[in-house]
Chains A and B, each alone.
Chain A
Amino acid sequence: MTTTPNDFMAEGDPGQAQSLEQVGGSTTPDRWWQVVWSSKKARVGLVVLALYVLMAVFAPLIAPHDPLDGGFTPLLQPSGEHWLGTNTNGRDIASQLIYGSRVSLLVGLFGGALATAIALVVGMVSGYTEGTIVDDVLSFVTNVALVIPALPLIITLVAYSDTRGVWLIVGIIALTSWAGAARSKRAQIITLRNRDFVTSAKFSGEGSARIIFSEIMPNMSSLVVAGFVGAATGAVGAEAGLAVLGLGDTRSVSWGTMLYQADAQGAIQQGLLTWIFAPGLALAILITAMSLINFGVDLLSNPHLRED
């Protein structure tokens, strides 16, 4: 990115109407993807995430075998035929690992998106109506959701359902993880709702919903993106945690279910290292990549950080 110290001064260019997000360049403000890309950490994270997405999309082409095919000799050591060996059920570990990326990314994407959507609606409405009964109720619900520990609640909810599809897990994770983001969005909208552009929108007769979502929300897009990345990271971890307890989707392969089976069938005692280590590492690297991306997203919401 080509930035000079001057780029950070919004007042260097008084003629141009700038939104809060684009406290950027003197000629054209940096687009948001340029800002994110300017961070070295975020670049590394994005490249790694892209590799994971490619792996998930092209899993049938990359994986040497069907991940659920149990017809191989069990407990084979890694070889050209079975890159990471086979497990006690005679399934190919490398293929399971490759297909497993699908569940993690799906849950991350949709769980993160749904949690962000809930957080947006609750946070924005509550912040915009600050001081009214609507806000009191929504704030109470948010604070309750914030202090209730998520995992025991998720476990209880999932344990009651007999069919545990990916979508059920996505929904439950989203329903239990939106509160923190809602609170920060409420705080943000409270600082925005008395600005002149909101007042002028009110006087021109726009409805509350329109003011909240098409006037104010675009000014919070960086907070929304940061919230989404955080929520997606949390969702990936939560899915893995559930699967490790045996509450994963039984019809598909995920890294969490791999770890669950490896633990349940004594992979450690039998020295089946790839079965234990590979899924955990795959998870850790994915979560690291997403945290790195968040460093870049932070630059959007806090221009002061861009100086280095």
Chain B
Amino acid sequence: MRYFLRKIGFFVGTLWAVVTLNFLIPRLQPGDPAELMVRRLQGKDSQLDAAQVEAMRSMLGAPDGSLWTQYWAYLADLLRGDFGVSYTYYPFSVAEVIGQAIWWTVGLVLVTQVISFVVGIVLGAYAAWRRNSKLDTVITLGSTFLGTLQPFWIALVLLYVFGYTLGWFPTSGGYSASIPGLNMFFVEEVLSHSTLPAVALLIVTPIGWILGMRNTMIMNLGEDYIRLAKAKGLPDRTVALRYAARNALLPSVTGFALALGSVLGGTILVETVFDYPGLGRLMGEAVQNKDYPLLQTLMLLTTTGVLIANLVADLLYGVLDPRARRAEG
């Protein structure tokens, strides 16, 4: 029980640190971002109501009021789900803009991550079992080389070859002519638009799993219980899959969540290249337009997502492996 409480405590502490960091970053800047933003918005459209100005001030730092009162106002806004108004998509609120984009990214990341995980585990386990075989060399060297490529560059190459030269896939966006909804036509369009971004991510993301799984599995293969299993005359398949691979899976469970952070970085860049309508493209736009309310909410949201994934993985790990509970309990 102490193990779980500790993990939850760490999650709450980290979340607090992130929220506070998010509050402090704009206030550490010289000048007054809120003032700038209000002025810019008023230049664009003078019909700003007082409530919106006020919300923006509490998000970005108002010149009046102590840091302490600002902090409480900011926390209250967060709890109400009030993240301010997007500058790029004015008059839509940040929450509305993000609500439109989030499912694209969640879908893309989930699908590619699950595929990467499965492919990585299988290839890594196989490479470890047939260590020093030709296939092992191909897998290890191949992943080491592919791992040095930048996801956004892979995306550009794919876009050029399969999008423009061969014309197999659409080159930008998430759908083109259809109206979003649950009809076959729309689903088909989403799939064809998502293929290239997914492939760009899939070239890089399994590598961590392959190498990690291979290492833990090789370590496990040296253990006594494997020798015993072999001595008992169990078939190779059983020893490899049900004895060695099963135990080697454990560290990968926590790795899955930690890797989400770096996957997110790749996704942001890949989405920008393909103009994919997810959070990554939104972040790119927020950067271009200095849309600080949008940018900060995206930062908060993506970070919180990764933190939650980590918490889930930690809790799951505690359930799966009693040693973890005992060691830290």
Contact B150 A151 (CB under 8 A): no
Stretch at the interface among B115-123, B179-187, B297-305, B319-327: B297-305
Contact B261 A240 (CB under 8 A): no
Contact B152 A244 (CB under 8 A): yes
Contact A247 B287 (CB under 8 A): yes
For the complex, what is the distance from the CA of A227 to the CA of B157, rounded to whole Å? 31
Chain A min CB distance to B15 (Å): 10
Contact B287 A147 (CB under 8 A): no
Chain A min CB distance to B222 (Å): 13
Chain A min CB distance to B33 (Å): 7
Contact A287 B148 (CB under 8 A): yes
Secondary structure at the A interface, as helix, strand, loop or mixed, is helix
Q: Does A245 contact B (CB under 8 A)?
A: yes
Taking CB atoms, residues of chain B closer than 8 Å to A201 are none
Contact with A along B118-147 (1 / 0, CB 8 A): 000000000000000000000000001101
For the complex, what is the distance from the CA of A140 to the CA of B10, rounded to whole Å? 8
For the complex, what is the distance from the CA of A240 to the CA of B150, rounded to whole Å? 9
Taking CB atoms, residues of chain B closer than 8 Å to A144 are 13-14, 17-18
Contact B265 A277 (CB under 8 A): no
Stretch at the interface among B46-54, B81-89, B212-220, B267-275: B267-275
Contact B156 A155 (CB under 8 A): no
Stretch at the interface among B68-76, B193-201, B239-247, B288-296: B288-296
For the complex, what is the distance from the CA of A280 to the CA of B158, rounded to whole Å? 13
B145's closest neighbor in chain A, by CB?
A288
Contact A160/B33 with A149-B260, A241-B265, A291-B144 known, Cβ cut-off 8 Å:
yes
Contact A159/B14 with A151-B265, A152-B303 known, Cβ cut-off 8 Å:
no
Taking CB atoms, residues of chain A closer than 8 Å to B21 are 153
Contact B283 A155 (CB under 8 A): yes
Chain A min CB distance to B50 (Å): 26
Taking CB atoms, residues of chain B closer than 8 Å to A152 are 264-265, 268, 283, 298-299, 302-303
Q: Does B78 contact A (CB under 8 A)?
A: no
Q: Does A259 contact B (CB under 8 A)?
A: yes
Taking CB atoms, residues of chain A closer than 8 Å to B152 are 241, 244, 259
Q: Does B153 contact A (CB under 8 A)?
A: yes
Within 8 A of A (CB), among B222-259: 258
Partner among B156, B160, B295, B310 whose Cβ is within 8 Å of the Cβ of A156: B295
For the complex, what is the distance from the CA of A271 to the CA of B163, rounded to whole Å? 12
Contact A245 B272 (CB under 8 A): yes
Contact A148/B265 with A245-B287, A280-B157, A284-B153 known, Cβ cut-off 8 Å:
no
Contact A245 B269 (CB under 8 A): yes
B311's closest neighbor in chain A, by CB?
A147
Q: Does B42 contact A (CB under 8 A)?
A: no
Contact B160 A149 (CB under 8 A): no
Contact A159 B29 (CB under 8 A): no
Taking CB atoms, residues of chain B closer than 8 Å to A271 are 164
A161's closest neighbor in chain B, by CB?
B29
Partner among A148, A240, A245, A288 whose Cβ is within 8 Å of the Cβ of B18: A148
Q: Does B262 contact A (CB under 8 A)?
A: yes
Taking CB atoms, residues of chain B closer than 8 Å to A156 are 25, 295-296, 299
Q: Does A268 contact B (CB under 8 A)?
A: yes
Taking CB atoms, residues of chain B closer than 8 Å to A284 are 148-150, 153
Chain A min CB distance to B241 (Å): 28
Contact A276/B160 with A247-B287, A288-B148, A291-B144 known, Cβ cut-off 8 Å:
yes
Within 8 A of B (CB), among A18-42: none
Taking CB atoms, residues of chain B closer than 8 Å to A287 are 148, 150
For the complex, what is the distance from the CA of A273 to the CA of B29, rounded to whole Å? 40
Q: Does A150 contact B (CB under 8 A)?
A: yes
Taking CB atoms, residues of chain B closer than 8 Å to A73 are none
Q: Does A157 contact B (CB under 8 A)?
A: yes
Q: Does B306 contact A (CB under 8 A)?
A: yes
Q: Does A64 contact B (CB under 8 A)?
A: no
Q: Does B56 contact A (CB under 8 A)?
A: no
Taking CB atoms, residues of chain A closer than 8 Å to B29 are 160-161
Q: Does B173 contact A (CB under 8 A)?
A: no
Q: Does A215 contact B (CB under 8 A)?
A: no
Contact A149/B148 with A155-B287, A244-B269 known, Cβ cut-off 8 Å:
no
Q: Does A199 contact B (CB under 8 A)?
A: no
Contact B298 A246 (CB under 8 A): no
Q: Does A130 contact B (CB under 8 A)?
A: no
Contact A149/B306 with A280-B150, A288-B145 known, Cβ cut-off 8 Å:
yes
Partner among A149, A153, A161, A283 whose Cβ is within 8 Å of the Cβ of B153: A283
Taking CB atoms, residues of chain A closer than 8 Å to B269 are 241, 244-245
11 other A-B residue contacts (CB within 8 Å) besides A147-B310, A156-B296, A159-B286 = A144-B17, A144-B18, A147-B306, A150-B265, A151-B265, A156-B299, A241-B150, A245-B272, A268-B156, A269-B164, A284-B153
- Give B residues with C-beta under 8 Å from A: 10, 13-14, 17-18, 21, 25-26, 29, 33, 144-145, 147-150, 152-153, 156-157, 159-160, 163-164, 258, 260-262, 264-265, 268-269, 272-273, 283-284, 286-288, 290, 292, 295-296, 298-299, 302-303, 306-307, 310
4 closest A-B pairs by CB: A151-B265, A149-B261, A280-B153, A287-B148
5 A–B pairs (Cβ distance < 8 Å), ordered by A: A147-B14, A148-B14, A155-B287, A156-B296, A280-B150
